[in-house]
Amino acid sequence: MEQLFIPDLNEQVDSNRMRSYPLLRYMGSKYKLIPWIYETFSSLEFESALDAFSGSGVVSFLLKSMNKKVYSNDFLHFSSVISKAVIENNVDQLDENDLESLLNMDGHADDFIQRTFDKVFYDKDDLVFLDKVSHNIRCLSSPYKQALAYTALFRSCLKKQPRGVFTISGNLDKYNDGRRDLQLSMESHFIEQVAAYNATVFDNGKKNASFNGNVFDFSEKLYKPDLVYMDPPYVPSSDDNCYTKRYHFLEGLSKYWVGEEIMENTKVKKIKKKFTPFSYRKTAIEAFDQMFGKFAQSTLVLSYSSNAYPDLETLAAIMKNHKTNIEVRTKPHKYHFGNHSTVSRSKVSEFLIIGRE
């Protein structure tokens, strides 16, 4: 299994546990920056933390592995399902009986995915499997087992997508380079991923929680996180950073498209875009100011990039309106996913902007 490269950290966190966290192909992923982020977290005093834009869940998992009480939030439903499976869930795993039930292809199931995504992403057998396993997941009695099964299914779907995003359709043979992930059936992937995510379940002795919502709706007065880690969508200098566009299939799959509006005129059957003010120049600065003010009673840690808007000086100045002591830590970084590695904007400086009293 692909693993994070995590050097030995110290007695505060189990490095082997961090290495076991499945690599999820996700735009803007912080996987390779985890040792650096850990260095920052370990230098700060806190017992509880909000991961306000949890994405793949890897930073939340780091915090949980550090034995912090973790609140994990994302405005995308499928990301919140991941954090429910590996952050909020402290005990439940999928056993052999669960897996047998999940792989039962004889039961009744809708054929929505087969009808809607025919000749879009996957072949007929994989689409049939997705319909049936989705039905079977919803029959599991434990919400944590459901979340764990969905998370395994999300990674299976990403592995079978040649580019790891859901923006291309039709004949995908031209992207088939013979790699194992593209040869395995969806069912085989799913079986492997169930085992991979079962291995992430552990109890850190805290009552962690997963949330699916707008960061501005999070009740900081009720939960009172000591530290708030923020990794919002970036406003790029070109292209766009729409997570809904890239992961709409997983977002729909996480709720079997209930309540989602499918844009039938699109080749890939996208769902309606989910708005976040952090993605637009005209709203980003005000959104940052509002967010820093909302969590002003907590230690603030903002993860940001040199190729995004607003710039470092602006962000530090905005945070200075709410916190007395501002520290910036910088690290060169190169993204290999979501951008072509040959373009200059994939080489960036990553910032951690820390705000304290």
- Which ranges of 212-311 does DSSP label H, i.e. alpha helix? 220-223, 243-253, 281-294
**pLDDT at position 341:** 42
Instruction: Tell me, yes or no, whether 200 lies in a domain.
Output: yes
Q: Could you tell me which residues are beta bridge partners of residue 325? A: 356
Contact residues for 136 (Cβ-Cβ < 8 A; gap 6+): 101, 102, 103, 104, 107, 109
The range of the structural domain enclosing residue 228 comes to 15-356
Segment 258-281, tens digit of pLDDT: 999 999 999 999 999 888 999 899
Question: Is 3 inside any structural domain?
Answer: no
CA-wise closest residue to 66 among 81, 80, 48, 82: 48
Does a structural domain hold residue 114? yes
How many domains does the chain contain in total?
Answer: 1
The pLDDT score that the predictor gives to residue 339 is 40
Q: Residue 4: inside a domain, yes or no? A: no
CATH of the domain at 153: 3.40.50.150
Residue 293 falls inside a structural domain:
yes
pLDDT at 289: 98
The helix (run of H) or strand (run of E) holding residue 305 is strand 299-305
Return d(Cα 78, Cα 227) in angstroms, integer. Answer: 24
pLDDT at site 26: 80
pLDDT for 345 equals 47
Q: What residues in the chain have per-residue pLDDT under 50?
A: 1, 3, 337-345
Give residue 176's pLDDT.
Answer: 67
